[in-house]
Amino acid sequence: MASTLLVIQIILALMIVVVVLLQKSSSIGLGAYSGSNESVFGQKGAGGFLTKVTFTLALAFVINTLALGYAYNSEKKGSVVDSVNVEQNAPAAPAVPQGNENSIPQAPAE
């Protein structure tokens, strides 16, 4: 299920990018390359239509993001830290040298 939602997420992201670039802005965007925009969407142009499509796609993107997060969290019941075995991965403590008391250096006397 999570992989299906991920594919839908990618498709929604690409659609949002295309719709936003088609909208009129100060630099006109990709709308300049489709000269028939005004004739297809009416005399006012595609401003209102593309705004509604952008809002709908953005809402679907947010809902899909929440569903995707829920799907990933429901699949993972535990943490990665829970699966680590501490006893096997713990470094060995360094060995303390065994010797008699005479081998220990003494502090100089005053």
* pLDDT tens-digit map of 7-62: 999 999 999 999 988 887 655 555 555 554 455 555 555 567 888 899 999 999 99
Binned at pLDDT 50, 70 and 90, residue 86 comes out as low
Residue 96 banded pLDDT, cuts 50, 70, 90: low
pTM, rounded to two decimals: 0.54
19 lies in some domain: yes
Q: Domain of 7?
A: 2-76
Q: Please indicate, yes or no, if residue 81 is contained in any of the structural domains.
A: no
Contact yes or no for 21/30 (Cβ under 8 A): yes
Q: Is residue 91 part of a domain?
A: no
94 within some domain:
no
The pLDDT score that the predictor gives to residue 24 is: 72
Q: Is residue 108 part of a domain?
A: no
Residue 18 counted as domain residue? yes
Q: Is residue 109 part of a domain?
A: no
For the beta carbon of residue 39, count every other beta carbon within 10 angstroms. Answer: 9
10 occurs within a structural domain: yes
The count of domains in the chain is 1
The pLDDT, as a whole number, for residue 18 is 92
